[in-house]
Chain A
Amino acid sequence: MSIDTTRASDMATIEQSAAAAGRGHLQRRVLMTLGPILAALVLAGCILLAVGVNPLAYYGFVVERGLLSPTGIQQTLTRMAPLLFIAAGLIVAFRAGMWNLGGDGQFLLGAVIAAASAPVLVQVLPAWLALACAFLMATAVAVSWSLVPALLRAYQGVNEIITTLMMTFLGTSFANVLVKLAFLDPATTVPQTRTLPVEDRLPRLFDTTITSGLLFGLVAIVAVHLVMTRTAFGLKLRVVGANPKAAIHVGLGVPGLTVAVFAISAGLAGLGGAIDVIGVQGNVRADWNPGYAMAVIPAVFLARMNGFAAIGFVFLLSVLSIGGESAARRLGVPHHFTLVLVAIVLIMLALAEYIDHRFTRARRA
């Protein structure tokens, strides 16, 4: 009896201290995330001051248009849909230690293929089947675009950073070629693909303008997170990422897994492009390249490749980009400033992580 009570009290104290430690840990995490973001806002504000813009007015406007106004927040949530798909693809690649920097090319090709196929397919097939086929084709083309870097990395050991970057330059040009030559809408003078009628696009959520693509995006990123953390397949990929030589020793088919990682990563990016077109844009204009993938890379890294944290950072990025686009029209600050802000946040957070790491190590020693 007495033994039981001591055990119980022991357990209680352990639980208490664990909870306290957890709270402290969480507190520090939040501090280590918000502190650098604040510092980055101040630094970026100095740049705004230097070009003669009131930073407080700018930030206020961005928050108002990207987060607080009803149309703004709906636009922000809609913007998240393609970004979430790209982020999901990047999480798979980065966790497996492969730097797929070719997301923009894969995204655009997926978008163009979806834009080319969906308006034709909806005329002959039931809507849901037509859209499903368009998604499938977009994914397949994006996957095939990643095949060359994947095979080069898997069987020749060629660094994928370079090959994917080169393929992204090729992909953006190729997407333009497709829009201008193959899938041009003859009915308009602007070079663009046929437009998918609004009623055939993905439905909007309830009475809002938010695309239902957002739900698909959330499902995709959570699924990817669970696969990477909870399944044998995910573990295999993480082993490949942590130590490719050890992975070979354990008997994993590293070349095959490499190709699989690229296929999943590129497929998700292409799917993101298709979601953006079929849910939101309706068509692809020539020379359209939003550069989403390059902007999402820092977000995914900041989230430490954690799917749930990535949702948060993607939301932040969406607020910045929607608010930034508004500010570009109203305040005359080009939306390129968003890039500067993202870069500064990235560097600040990396620095904070370093300081945190040193601090913990010093305390342990």
Chain B
Amino acid sequence: MTGLFSEVFLGALLFGAITAAIPLLLAGLGEQMSEKAGVLNIGIEGMMIGGAYLGFVAAFYSGSLWLGFLFGACAGIAVAALMALLCVRLGLNQIVIGIGLTLGLEGLTALLHHFQFSRSYPRLPAAERTEIPLLADIPVLGPALFRHHLIVYLAIALVFVMIYVYRRTQLGLNLQAAGDKPAALDVAGVDVIRTRTVAVLFTGAMAGLGGAYLANVGAGIFIPFITNGAGFLGIVLAMLARGRPVWVLLGALLFGLCLSLTTAMQVAGINIPTDVIQMLPFLAVMVMLVAFGRRGSLPAALGIPYERGAR
């Protein structure tokens, strides 16, 4: 038991929690905008794995993590554009197309990985970290919380940007209306289709970025099916957060802690089979859903394609 509460263990646990939370946070924030605008984005898992793959490839060949993030976000946007075209513009079933995109992207990235990397399984060097002056010198907490890659701080700052967007801007109001009463938004002279498209593309960018972070910083390697449900966890976060970005952050940190606990417990040599440990985050989700998943937390027009003049 001495190993469990040592400073090293605690530090590694918290550091891992932040690292694991960032992809969930990005996916959750992205999905939140989609859901606010009335599009249930099941394809987010596909956008994430697309971002993870392209982000890894870009970072691997260019040697620049930032280029990796950029390409990851672009891959997410590309998948999201397809989703927006099919589900927002043409009004096809969001769940079916979402599942199709997820399956397709999982298969495609596994296929490409097989032909490109399956013999070598290359790794990226460890990501450079940005230390926040003074705070990084706090014992235990400093190295765990304030010595991460710069994008971690940017992702957390994004939470507050989102709060501002939803509370103070016309766009935030439009998004809300597109999800709650699209016809009213249309009457007000705002293009519902365009508003929803913007939301879906934003989701793609965030999911792709989250995927790229997962592969490049979190794991340092791309392996097929690496996201393993992270996108779906993002959907859960968005659903439980009820439109509030801060709750997405808190939820992501909580799930991140669960995920980190699974690795930390394995490292600490606690004798629990990995499969039991792997159930932990999903068990946490189910407990959260049983406890807080009440009625009325979703926009009224969620999942319903908007068609002008339809009754």
Contacts and interface: CB of A to CB of B under 8 A. Distances in A.
B114 interface: yes
A156 B295 contact: yes
A52 to B, nearest CB: 7
Contacts of A227: none
B282 A350 contact: no
Interface stretch (B10-18, B100-108, B127-135, B175-183): B100-108
Given A173-B276, A180-B275, A181-B273, A334 B295 contact: no
B218 interface: no
A180 to B, nearest CB: 6
B275 A338 contact: no
Contact of B104 (A180, A344, A350, A354): A344
23 contacts: A51-B111, A148-B290, A158-B293, A158-B294, A162-B235, A163-B286, A163-B293, A166-B285, A166-B286, A169-B229, A173-B279, A177-B273, A297-B96, A333-B111, A336-B106, A336-B108, A339-B106, A343-B107, A346-B100, A347-B97, A347-B104, A350-B96, A354-B91
A148 B286 CA distance: 9
Interface string A143-178: 000001000100011110111011101100110110
Nearest to B276: A177
B236 interface: yes
A347 B40 contact: no
A148 B289 CA distance: 10
A334 B110 contact: yes
Interface of A: 47, 51-52, 99, 101, 148, 152, 156-159, 161-163, 165-167, 169-170, 173-174, 176-177, 180-181, 294-295, 297-298, 301, 333-334, 336-344, 346-347, 350-351, 354
Given A156-B293, A173-B275, A351-B86, A343 B282 contact: no
A55 to B, nearest CB: 13
A266 to B, nearest CB: 16
B42 interface: yes
Interface in B92-144: 92-93, 95-97, 99-101, 103-108, 110-112, 114-115
Interface string B167-196: 000000000000000000000000000000
A99 B94 CA distance: 12
Given A162-B235, A167-B286, A99 B95 contact: yes
Contacts of B276: 173, 177
A166 B236 contact: yes
Contacts of A52: 115
B232 interface: yes
Contacts of A159: 239, 293, 298
Contacts, number: 135
Nearest to B109: A336
A169 B96 CA distance: 20
A170 B103 contact: no
A334 B232 contact: no
B95 A336 contact: no
Contacts of A169: 229, 232, 279, 282
Contact of B112 (A51, A156, A354): A51
B102 to A, nearest CB: 8
A339 B229 CA distance: 17
Contacts of B289: 152, 158, 162-163, 166
B278 interface: yes
B90 A354 contact: yes
Contacts of B101: 343, 347
B275 A176 contact: yes
Contact of A295 (B103, B110, B114): B103
Contacts of A152: 289-290, 293
Contacts of B295: 156-157
B107 A337 contact: yes
B236 A162 contact: yes
B290 A339 contact: no
B310 to A, nearest CB: 12
Contacts of A51: 111-112, 115
B121 to A, nearest CB: 15
A261 B97 CA distance: 23
Contacts of A174: 275, 279
B220 interface: no
A354 B293 CA distance: 34
Contacts of B232: 162, 165-166, 169
A180 B273 contact: yes
Contact of A342 (B103, B105, B110, B114): B103
Which of A157, A167, A297, A334: most chain B CB closer than 10 A? A334
Nearest to B95: A99
A170 B278 CA distance: 8
B93 to A, nearest CB: 7
Which of A47, A152, A162, A174: most chain B CB closer than 10 A? A162
B161 interface: no
B268 interface: no
A232 to B, nearest CB: 28
A156 B285 contact: no
Nearest to B98: A161
B28 to A, nearest CB: 13
Contacts of A334: 110-111, 114
A343 B103 contact: yes
B116 to A, nearest CB: 9
Which of A163, A339, A342: most chain B CB closer than 10 A? A339
Which of B99, B295, B296: most chain A CB closer than 10 A? B99
Given A152-B290, A173-B278, 7 more contacts: A47-B108, A165-B229, A170-B282, A181-B273, A336-B110, A337-B107, A340-B104
A285 to B, nearest CB: 14
A163 B283 CA distance: 11
Contacts of A165: 229, 232
A298 B282 contact: no
